[in-house]
Amino acid sequence: MLGNIVIGQSGGPTAVINCSVAGVYAEAKKLGAPKVFGMVHGIEGFLEDKLCDLDNYLADPMGLELLKRTPSAFLGSCRYKMPAIEGHEDVYEKVIAIMEKHDIEVMFYIGGNDSMDTVKMLSDFAAEKGKKQRFIGVPKTIDNDLPVTDHCPGYGSAAKYIATSLKEIIRDNESFGAAKPTVCVVEIMGRHAGWLTAAAALAKGDDCSGADAIYLPETVFDMDAFMEKVEHLAKTKRSVVIAVSEGVKLADGTFVCEAGAGAAAVDAFGHKQLSGCAAILSRMIAEKTGLKTRAIEFSTLQRAASHIASATDAEDAFQSGRDAAKAAADGKTGVMVILKRLQSDPYLCGTDIYDIHEIANVERHVPVEWITEDGCGLTEDFIAYASPLIQGEVPQIYVNGTPRHLIMKELAEF
């Protein structure tokens, strides 16, 4: 049995973050929760008592289905970082007071590293002060950089978007038959961990030659070796498509994108120019080789393209939420749900719960042994790990030509 609960979302959204809301809601209702509240704009809104009653949207099963197909944070997100407990007890007391006011037993917080830190501090505070309120984390991040869990809900859909879009870009680039190839540099999110960029390796298959080189932030970016690689590719191939992480760094630790903006680059309007690393690298290639180049950034679409979400990812996100509710009913607090892969082929995944102290603020990187020796490719071990996560599609509900989303009216009002 479960009393009233509240669900919040925090940080950069994903294509399936709302599947976790759906999972918590559906299971909590099964477990008898009288009220399931949503925080409007995460803990930041919660501190201002901004709540909504999720029954208004999700009691109807059609609402729940639409929610699973809605990208971005349905409840609204925030980038609010809880202050250290010491010296800011009032903020923590306020959270507890608002929970007491609405008779809320458990708070579920869906997010990445920072959000798990919030869960940790809130549960630590409650334990320390002998409060009965409980706090449970539900993982979410396209970056896939949370430790302990096999993978993070949100990653699979972003990876599917990246693999599919890259495949389409490669087709486009290959279609031109000029003697000199066009070099296309595609920039992928992930400043510190290369999981998303690594997903470029999933474009390869019987019907696609794949990305010609993939550069992760886990290895030092050597500009000379890069240019040499590109020149070699351009001599031997009709089409060259390269994937780079936004976070690639030179040996001295400078981000390639920062290096490019370092000098006082000012445009005709007198504004400082800031470019992404794909733009910088494609300009360098054009100048050095005379080849036609193109820079593409997947940008926000990587985390928002629910129209091509992975069904496996959506299911993992849903069961993470569902099992968080079960853990709450078991009296747990200060834990995060983790995904435990039981087998890869065929893929089978369950969940477990894990002490939040082991998770918060720890970043997981792509293992170096999954990067090929030349530093610009991924091994079969990575493919075996990531490929199951992009399988399956979530049929969208199209209305008037675009996928239908569920909207929370309180978002605009608050």
Per-residue x/- track, 320-339, its own copies (CB under 8 A): --------------------
* Residue 123 or 387 with smaller CB distance to its own copies: 387
Q: According to CB under 8 A, which one of 90, 267, 369, 373 is a site residue for its own copies?
A: 267
Q: Is 40 in the site for its own copies (CB under 8 A)?
A: yes
Residue 182, strand partner residues = 239
Q: Is 277 in the site for its own copies (CB under 8 A)?
A: no
* Residue 40 or 327 with smaller CB distance to its own copies: 40
* Count of residues of this chain found to bind its own copies when the rule CB under 8 A is applied: 90
Residue 393, strand partner residues = 310
What number of CA atoms fall less than 13 Å from residue 54's CA on the CB side?
28
Q: Is 140 in the site for its own copies (CB under 8 A)?
A: no
The two beta strands, 4-9 and 104-111, are parallel
Q: Is 76 in the site for its own copies (CB under 8 A)?
A: yes
For its own copies, which stretch binds (CB under 8 A), given 105-113, 269-277, 335-343, 371-379? 269-277
Find, among 139, 131, 95, 134, the residue nearest to 114 by Cα.
139
Report the nearest approach of its own copies to the CB of residue 400 (Å).
6
Interactions with its own copies, residue window 281-320 (CB under 8 A): 283-284, 287, 294, 296-297, 299-301, 303-308, 310
Q: According to CB under 8 A, which one of 8, 38, 45, 154 is a site residue for its own copies?
A: 45
* Residue 173 or 372 with smaller CB distance to its own copies: 173
Measure the CA–CA gap between 134 and 99, rounded to whole angstroms.
Answer: 10
Report the nearest approach of its own copies to the CB of residue 255 (Å).
11
Q: Is 403 in the site for its own copies (CB under 8 A)?
A: yes
User: Is the CB of residue 193 less than 8 Å from the CB of residue 249?
Assistant: no
Interactions with its own copies, residue window 1-30 (CB under 8 A): 9, 13
**Which uninterrupted H or E stretch holds 6?**
strand 4-9
Q: Is 51 in the site for its own copies (CB under 8 A)?
A: no
Measure the CA–CA gap between 104 and 107, rounded to whole angstroms.
Answer: 8
For its own copies, which stretch binds (CB under 8 A), given 20-28, 121-129, 188-196, 264-272? 264-272
Q: Write out the two tokens for 142.
A: 């396209």
Q: According to CB under 8 A, which one of 7, 54, 77, 216 is a site residue for its own copies?
A: 77
For its own copies, which stretch binds (CB under 8 A), given 64-72, 96-104, 131-139, 354-362? 64-72
**Which uninterrupted H or E stretch holds 46?**
helix 42-46
Q: Write out the two tokens for 332.
A: 């747990």
| Straight-line distance from the first to the last Cα atom of the chain, in angstroms, rounded to the nearest whole number | 32
Q: Is 412 in the site for its own copies (CB under 8 A)?
A: yes
Cα dist. 215→208, 221, 225 in Å? 19, 8, 12
Measure the CA–CA gap between 14 and 17, rounded to whole angstroms.
Answer: 5
Q: Active-site residue numbers?
A: 143
Looking at residue 330, what DSSP letter applies? T
User: Is the CB of residue 36 less than 8 Å from the CB of residue 100?
Assistant: no
Find, among 135, 128, 68, 132, the residue nearest to 313 by Cα.
68
For its own copies, which stretch binds (CB under 8 A), given 147-155, 160-168, 214-222, 358-366? 160-168
Q: According to CB under 8 A, which one of 177, 253, 331, 346 is a site residue for its own copies?
A: 177
* Residue 107 or 159 with smaller CB distance to its own copies: 159
Find, among 117, 23, 11, the residue nearest to 68 by Cα.
23
